[in-house]
Protein backbone atom coordinates (compact mmCIF):
# COMPACT_ATOMS: atom_id res chain seq x y z
CA UNK A 1 0.00 0.00 0.00
CA UNK A 2 2.75 2.40 0.96
CA UNK A 3 4.68 1.04 -1.98
CA UNK A 4 1.85 1.92 -4.36
CA UNK A 5 1.67 5.40 -2.86
CA UNK A 6 5.40 5.78 -3.53
CA UNK A 7 4.84 4.90 -7.16
CA UNK A 8 2.09 7.49 -7.54
CA UNK A 9 4.29 10.03 -5.78
CA UNK A 10 6.94 9.36 -8.38
CA UNK A 11 4.32 10.09 -11.04
CA UNK A 12 3.07 13.24 -9.31
CA UNK A 13 5.43 15.64 -11.09
CA UNK A 14 4.96 17.06 -14.62
CA UNK A 15 8.60 16.54 -15.57
CA UNK A 16 8.56 12.93 -14.45
CA UNK A 17 5.34 12.31 -16.34
CA UNK A 18 6.99 13.73 -19.45
CA UNK A 19 9.89 11.34 -18.92
CA UNK A 20 7.60 8.36 -18.50
CA UNK A 21 5.69 9.41 -21.59
CA UNK A 22 8.88 9.40 -23.61
CA UNK A 23 9.79 5.90 -22.49
CA UNK A 24 6.29 4.66 -23.21
CA UNK A 25 6.45 6.23 -26.65
CA UNK A 26 9.67 4.54 -27.73
CA UNK A 27 9.82 1.45 -25.55
CA UNK A 28 13.53 1.84 -26.10
CA UNK A 29 16.51 2.54 -23.86
CA UNK A 30 17.39 6.21 -23.65
CA UNK A 31 20.41 8.00 -22.26
CA UNK A 32 20.31 11.11 -20.12
CA UNK A 33 21.49 13.51 -22.81
CA UNK A 34 18.76 12.38 -25.20
CA UNK A 35 16.07 13.01 -22.63
CA UNK A 36 17.63 16.32 -21.70
CA UNK A 37 17.30 17.38 -25.31
CA UNK A 38 13.79 16.02 -25.66
CA UNK A 39 12.47 17.83 -22.61
CA UNK A 40 14.63 20.94 -22.96
CA UNK A 41 15.48 21.14 -19.28
CA UNK A 42 18.77 21.42 -17.36
CA UNK A 43 20.72 18.16 -17.19
CA UNK A 44 20.82 18.08 -13.40
CA UNK A 45 17.04 18.28 -13.34
CA UNK A 46 16.65 15.33 -15.68
CA UNK A 47 19.17 13.33 -13.66
CA UNK A 48 17.36 14.00 -10.41
CA UNK A 49 13.93 13.09 -11.75
CA UNK A 50 15.28 9.94 -13.35
CA UNK A 51 16.74 8.93 -10.01
CA UNK A 52 13.33 9.38 -8.42
CA UNK A 53 11.70 7.18 -11.06
CA UNK A 54 14.41 4.59 -10.63
CA UNK A 55 13.97 4.48 -6.85
CA UNK A 56 10.26 3.92 -7.41
CA UNK A 57 11.31 0.95 -9.55
CA UNK A 58 9.61 2.32 -12.62
CA UNK A 59 12.89 2.62 -14.53
CA UNK A 60 16.11 0.66 -14.53
CA UNK A 61 19.60 1.62 -15.68
CA UNK A 62 22.37 0.05 -17.64
CA UNK A 63 25.77 1.66 -18.08
CA UNK A 64 27.68 1.58 -21.36
CA UNK A 65 30.92 3.44 -20.95
CA UNK A 66 30.17 7.04 -20.09
CA UNK A 67 26.59 6.73 -21.21
CA UNK A 68 23.85 5.60 -18.84
CA UNK A 69 20.80 4.09 -20.48
CA UNK A 70 17.47 4.19 -18.72
CA UNK A 71 14.51 2.01 -19.64
CA UNK A 72 11.17 0.84 -18.30
CA UNK A 73 11.56 -1.73 -15.55
CA UNK A 74 9.27 -4.55 -16.66
CA UNK A 75 10.47 -6.88 -13.93
CA UNK A 76 8.42 -5.35 -11.12
CA UNK A 77 5.01 -6.86 -10.45
CA UNK A 78 2.22 -4.58 -11.57
CA UNK A 79 4.39 -2.40 -13.75
CA UNK A 80 3.11 -3.95 -16.95
CA UNK A 81 -0.47 -2.98 -16.26
CA UNK A 82 0.63 0.42 -15.02
CA UNK A 83 2.62 1.09 -18.18
CA UNK A 84 -0.24 -0.05 -20.35
CA UNK A 85 -2.59 2.30 -18.56
CA UNK A 86 -0.19 5.23 -18.71
CA UNK A 87 0.36 4.78 -22.41
CA UNK A 88 -3.25 5.59 -23.14
CA UNK A 89 -3.67 8.00 -20.25
CA UNK A 90 -0.80 10.35 -21.08
CA UNK A 91 -1.98 12.33 -24.05
CA UNK A 92 -2.34 15.94 -25.05
CA UNK A 93 -0.52 18.77 -23.34
CA UNK A 94 3.15 18.96 -24.27
CA UNK A 95 3.54 15.20 -24.35
CA UNK A 96 3.36 15.10 -28.13
CA UNK A 97 6.00 17.81 -28.53
CA UNK A 98 8.39 15.87 -26.34
CA UNK A 99 7.89 12.77 -28.45
CA UNK A 100 8.58 14.76 -31.59
CA UNK A 101 11.79 16.27 -30.25
CA UNK A 102 12.93 12.83 -29.11
CA UNK A 103 12.29 11.35 -32.55
CA UNK A 104 14.44 14.04 -34.08
CA UNK A 105 17.17 13.58 -31.53
CA UNK A 106 17.29 9.81 -32.03
CA UNK A 107 18.26 10.34 -35.67
CA UNK A 108 21.71 11.24 -34.39
CA UNK A 109 22.25 7.74 -33.03
CA UNK A 110 24.82 5.48 -34.65
CA UNK A 111 24.03 1.78 -34.94
CA UNK A 112 21.24 2.30 -32.42
CA UNK A 113 23.44 3.90 -29.82
CA UNK A 114 23.89 7.44 -28.60
CA UNK A 115 27.13 9.00 -29.81
CA UNK A 116 26.77 12.66 -28.81
CA UNK A 117 26.01 14.47 -25.55
CA UNK A 118 23.63 17.33 -25.03
CA UNK A 119 22.90 19.12 -28.28
CA UNK A 120 21.88 22.81 -28.11
CA UNK A 121 18.47 23.15 -29.73
CA UNK A 122 19.85 25.68 -32.20
CA UNK A 123 22.34 23.16 -33.59
CA UNK A 124 20.14 20.07 -33.78
CA UNK A 125 18.70 20.59 -37.25
CA UNK A 126 22.10 21.20 -38.81
CA UNK A 127 23.51 18.09 -37.15
CA UNK A 128 20.62 16.01 -38.43
CA UNK A 129 21.29 17.23 -41.97
CA UNK A 130 24.95 16.21 -41.71
CA UNK A 131 24.06 12.88 -40.19
CA UNK A 132 21.64 12.03 -42.99
CA UNK A 133 24.25 13.02 -45.57
CA UNK A 134 26.79 10.70 -43.93
CA UNK A 135 24.37 7.81 -43.93
CA UNK A 136 23.78 8.23 -47.65
Query: Which of residues 45 and 126 has its CB atom nearest to DNA in the complex?
Result: 45
Backbone CA torsion sign across 121, 125, 126, 127: positive
Q: How far apart are CA 78 and CA 67, in angstroms?
A: 29
87 binds, among DNA, a second copy, none (CB under 5 to 8 A by kind): none
Residue 49 interacts with a second copy (CB under 8 A)? Answer: no
Residue 18 interacts with a second copy (CB under 8 A)? Answer: yes
Q: How far apart are CA 58 and CA 24, in angstroms?
A: 11
- State which of residues 14, 55, 64, 115 lies at the interface with a second copy (CB under 8 A): 14
Cβ-contact 39, 121 below 8 angstroms: no
- State which of residues 78, 113, 129, 132 lies at the interface with a second copy (CB under 8 A): 78
101 binds, among DNA, a second copy, none (CB under 5 to 8 A by kind): none
Q: What are phi and psi of 63, to 5 degrees?
A: -90, 140
Q: Residues, the chain, total? A: 136
Residues 80-99 that bind a second copy (CB under 8 A): 81-82, 85, 88-90, 92-95
Amino acid sequence: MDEKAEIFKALSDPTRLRLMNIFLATGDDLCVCEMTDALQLPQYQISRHLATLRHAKLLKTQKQGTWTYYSLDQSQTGNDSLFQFLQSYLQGGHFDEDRERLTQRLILRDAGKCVVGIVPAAELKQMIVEKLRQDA
